[in-house]
Structure 1
Amino acid sequence: MAQSSPQVDVKLTPIASDGSVTTVRVIETLTGLEGGPDRPLVSVPARIALTPGQAYAAEEVVFADAAGPLSVRMDVDQPPPGMPLQMRSFTPLRAIAGPVTVTYAAKVTPALTPRKPGPSYDLRGVEGGIGGAYFSFLLMPLQVPQVDVHLAWDVADLPQGASVISTAGGADYTARLAPMDVYSTFFLVGRVHGLTNPGSPFQAYWIGTPPFKADAMVDWSRKSFTVLQRFFQDPDAKPYTLLMRPYLRPRDGGGATRGGFMLEYGVGALDDAARRIMFTHEMVHHFVGGLDGDSSANAWYGEGLAEFYKVRLPLREGLLHIVDVAREIGIMTNAYYSSPLVTTPYAEVGKLRWAGGEAQSVPYNRGFMYFINLDAKVRAKSGGHRSVDDLVLAMLERRRAGRPYDKAAWRALLQQELGAAGGEDFDRMLRGDLIVPPEGAFGDCFTRHSATHPRSELGMSEDSFLVAPYTVTGLVPDSAAARAGLKEGDAITSFTGVTPRVAHSAANVTVGPTVDVVVEREGKPLLVSFATAGAPMVEYSWTLKTKHPAGCVL
């Protein structure tokens, strides 16, 4: 490899104690970099969305160069609202001399330790294996456009049979790429289980013990991946790697990257159909990606299309039953209309997205409804000859040709397809106008209904009722819950009126008209009751016809 880019050589050594990997020792050698008191040498995320990075103290990261020990200053930035990344940077206090060696250790968190919902980047371990992404702990020179990076895992001190699997390959990884692209690699290390198929680019590996039949789920997901690859006309036959690790929350979650994704299988009773739909959502990201520019401001595109195609394409190929699709449509449309942010301008939603709460789900449900409505309009104007599929494939052609893959390109396609109305509808979605797709938006198998009823307002984070020990968190000031006497941090000993729901891309709880919560105050139980009825809302729903025609499609 030519030496025109700085080099980053990384040796990663997992350290085990009593059968569990507790830390990853890292030794980096940085060559060809310039640095001094006026610019950071390396950085690492302190927070990615709501997922914390490694909380390195300055003295825990040791620097040295040809002149000896290298003192550095550590800074943690304060990003503006809505920015998903908060960075921790290390700046030399003198000019560097020659190659720099950086030595530090990343801590591994037990897999079932509670955390807020967010990308699956942090280092977590279970049953002798660990999983995560380089995003959460690896120091990289972000000030340069590209690096020649070589990462090597040394698992010689782990029990026999230890292995390394990643979305970029195995134990050794060599490439020239942007430093941020190194971060998006997911991996599993240690006691890793797997199912491979030499005839398919789709492979699957996991740590821990999934609460489902892994072989059947992997076989189905491989078929779904093939359907997506064919539909999106992907010329890239590179391997695609599904990685899995356990998660304390009831429903499954995960994070996607080009070349694979990390699934976090939850402790709730997510059924096979719902899990298959969720797997497909994550795989759609591999093909569609995200628009250029601010990821939070543009998340409606990638997340909305992943929601749109996660049911549409498997149904077309007979991989999902229409009954399971109808249930998922009901969950997604309800999530849209019941959101307290349903009419909030998307520019504001983007700023709130990584503050926690309702804003995280808006790109999913609003994006889904936008594409369903747009699809119906494209079909109507073209007499059924064209659909959203044509616009999405045209966008992908632009990206493969090296042309802009951004909001302006999307707007131009809309105006070409639908005239001024296409751009106007797009603006209405971004503005927060209520989206009401037509009767036949989901095909001839569904009937549209509407109803007006109060919006349920829990008045606190749903996490308060999801993971024991239950604790009041995210209490909304002046909510009915707060007015009834609940306080932030109250220990909840029992409750009724809140029911955990295991669903993808929707609220994790359903709320009844009245919630009763028993909290402990000064060593004594206290009952707090409150009504959840908020302002009236109009909800549209699409239900499967009792006698629906055979071969339902969306």
Structure 2
Amino acid sequence: MEWQGLDGGLGVSSLGVGTVGLAGTVETLLYAFYMAGPVTLHPDAGTFSMHWLSEPPFDTAAVAARIERIYEVMCDFFGEPEPGHRVFVRKNPYPGNGGTALPKSFTFGWSEIEPPTVEELASLLAHETAHNWPRLDGEHGDIAWYTEGTAEYYSIVLPYRAGLIDEAVYLGLINERARGYYTNPLQMLSNAAAYELFWQAQRAQRVPYGRSLFYLADLDAKIRAVGDRSLDDLVLAVLERQRAGAKVGVDAWLALVVAELGEAARADFAAMESGEWVVSAYGAFGPGTPARKSATT
């Protein structure tokens, strides 16, 4: 891939800045973001950078610093062997500040109609950054609960463990997700039924987020209640297998949770998948968890 700059312009992609040598598949090129023109780079060196064309209305340095620190924390937790992350910022002509993640990069939009705050962006960007790691192999409709649920969970829990947010902010983020989950009129749809409506109803798109967040928090609390392990052990085990070249789908996930909690864990998963309300076990998200303590060591 080669970029010839005009009038001081610059070409940037998920793969790098300017001319980049690539050994990969066509999918590598397809699943990448591209930006060209008078692109601003911040910072202009290192494994993390943020890029934009139109000057945003928020403090870009503050947002970049916040998300870079979150990225470093997540790289450490997930054992990222090849750090490198790019954030692409674009101006939207319509309300909305959503984002989309691709390998080692993501993009989000901002609108003059509803300009985002640094705090709002920190929450969004933490979620999108977490998408670099946890995933299951399979069809989107079958594994979206895991992709979005783990991104929600670790975008809240890891910054808290690292001391990047205090308990008041932590509680606020959890309550915000709880409101979104328990007030969504489509939350009692099964995962399959919600997926059928995915591109027709915005509330259907939100089903995997809240449902799976509280399922994972419940699972974590139940695992911690019977020993010295946690949800982290399962999520990292999935990632380790995938890095070794294995495909890890829903069946493999169920085998992991059943090994921890017995057949009751299979019933909990089936209830979540069918659309039953998830009420997390006592102690979910609570202070003093082994994970929180380990962050200070």
Q: TM-score, normalised by structure 2?
A: 0.91
3-state secondary structure, aligned to 2:198:
helix
Q: Number of residues paired by the alignment?
A: 289
Residues 93 and 111 of structure 2 are in contact (CA less than 8 Å); yes or no, is this contact kept in structure 1? yes
- Which residue in 2 is equivalent to 1:215? 61
- Which residue in 1 is equivalent to 2:245? 402
Q: Structure 1, residues 113-147: CA drift from partner, whole Å, max 9, x if none? A: xxxxxxxxxxxxxxxxxxxxxxxxxxxxxxxxxxx
Residue from 16, 33, 41 that aligns with 1:186:
33
Give the CA deviation at 1:439.
Answer: 3.5
- Which residue in 1 is equivalent to 2:3? 153
**For the residues of structure 1 that align with 2:278 and 2:122, how far apart are their CA atoms?**
27
Q: 1:293 to 1:211 in 2, by over 3 A?
A: same
Q: Does 1:387 align with 2:237?
A: no
Q: Which letter maps to 1:222?
A: E
- Which residue in 2 is equivalent to 1:512? none
Residue from 417, 420, 437 that aligns with 2:263:
420
**For the residues of structure 1 that align with 2:246 and 2:101, how far apart are their CA atoms?**
23
Give the CA deviation at 1:269.
Answer: 4.5
- Which residue in 1 is equivalent to 2:195? 350
Residues 315 and 325 of structure 1 are in contact (CA less than 8 Å); yes or no, is this contact kept in structure 2? yes
Instruction: Show structure 1 runs of 4+ deviating over 6 A.
Output: none
Amino-acid identity (%) = 33
**For the residues of structure 2 that align with 1:155 and 1:367, how far apart are their CA atoms?**
45
- Which residue in 2 is equivalent to 1:257? 102
3-state secondary structure, aligned to 2:169:
helix
Give the CA deviation at 1:444.
Answer: 4.7
Q: Which letter maps to 2:213?
A: F
**For the residues of structure 2 that align with 1:249 and 1:319, how far apart are their CA atoms?**
31
**For the residues of structure 2 that align with 1:335 and 1:441, how far apart are their CA atoms?**
18
Q: Which letter maps to 1:195?
A: H
- Which residue in 1 is equivalent to 2:124? 278
**For the residues of structure 1 that align with 2:211 and 2:116, how far apart are their CA atoms?**
23
**For the residues of structure 1 that align with 2:173 and 2:62, how far apart are their CA atoms?**
21
Q: 1:291 to 1:444 in 2, by over 3 A?
A: closer
**For the residues of structure 2 that align with 1:377 and 1:315, how far apart are their CA atoms?**
20
**For the residues of structure 1 that align with 2:246 and 2:32, how far apart are their CA atoms?**
25
Residues 346 and 430 of structure 1 are in contact (CA less than 8 Å); yes or no, is this contact kept in structure 2? yes
Give the CA deviation at 1:251.
Answer: 3.9
Give the CA deviation at 1:407.
Answer: 1.1
**For the residues of structure 2 that align with 1:305 and 1:409, how far apart are their CA atoms?**
16
Give the CA deviation at 1:249.
Answer: 4.2
Residue from 280, 285, 293 that aligns with 1:442:
285
- Which residue in 2 is equivalent to 1:300? 145
Q: Structure 1, residues 283-316: CA drift from partner, whole Å, max 9, x if none? A: 101122x321212331111111110011111111
Residues 155 and 162 of structure 1 are in contact (CA less than 8 Å); yes or no, is this contact kept in structure 2? yes
Residues 141 and 191 of structure 2 are in contact (CA less than 8 Å); yes or no, is this contact kept in structure 1? no
Q: Structure 1, residues 162-213: CA drift from partner, whole Å, max 9, x if none? A: 1011111133344343323321110110011111264x41111111121211
- Which residue in 2 is equivalent to 1:476? none
Residues 141 and 192 of structure 2 are in contact (CA less than 8 Å); yes or no, is this contact kept in structure 1? no
**For the residues of structure 2 that align with 1:171 and 1:355, how far apart are their CA atoms?**
38
- Which residue in 2 is equivalent to 1:246? 91
Q: Which letter maps to 2:189?
A: T
- Which residue in 2 is equivalent to 1:163? 10
3-state secondary structure, aligned to 1:243:
strand
Residues 273 and 320 of structure 1 are in contact (CA less than 8 Å); yes or no, is this contact kept in structure 2? no
**For the residues of structure 1 that align with 2:202 and 2:65, how far apart are their CA atoms?**
35
Q: Which letter maps to 1:228?
A: M
Unaligned runs of 5+ in 1: 1-150, 446-550
Q: Does 1:341 align with 2:186?
A: yes
Residues 244 and 263 of structure 1 are in contact (CA less than 8 Å); yes or no, is this contact kept in structure 2? yes
3-state secondary structure, aligned to 1:377:
helix
Structure having the larger proportion of residues in strand: 1
**For the residues of structure 1 that align with 2:167 and 2:145, how far apart are their CA atoms?**
25
Q: 1:362 to 1:249 in 2, by over 3 A?
A: farther
Give the CA deviation at 1:398.
Answer: 0.6
Which has the larger Rg? 1
Unaligned runs of 5+ in 2: none
RMSD: 1.9
Q: Which letter maps to 2:2?
A: A
Structure having the larger proportion of residues in helix: 2
3-state secondary structure, aligned to 1:172:
coil
Q: Which letter maps to 1:372?
A: A
**For the residues of structure 2 that align with 1:180 and 1:353, how far apart are their CA atoms?**
24
Larger relative contact order (CA 8 Å, sep ≥ 6): 2
Q: 1:232 to 1:366 in 2, by over 3 A?
A: same
Give the CA deviation at 1:414.
Answer: 0.8
Q: 1:154 to 1:356 in 2, by over 3 A?
A: farther
Residues 62 and 118 of structure 2 are in contact (CA less than 8 Å); yes or no, is this contact kept in structure 1? no
Q: Does 1:291 align with 2:136?
A: yes
Q: Structure 1, residues 86-117: CA drift from partner, whole Å, max 9, x if none? A: xxxxxxxxxxxxxxxxxxxxxxxxxxxxxxxx
**For the residues of structure 2 that align with 1:363 and 1:354, how far apart are their CA atoms?**
14
**For the residues of structure 2 that align with 1:249 and 1:308, how far apart are their CA atoms?**
29
**For the residues of structure 1 that align with 2:232 and 2:95, how far apart are their CA atoms?**
33
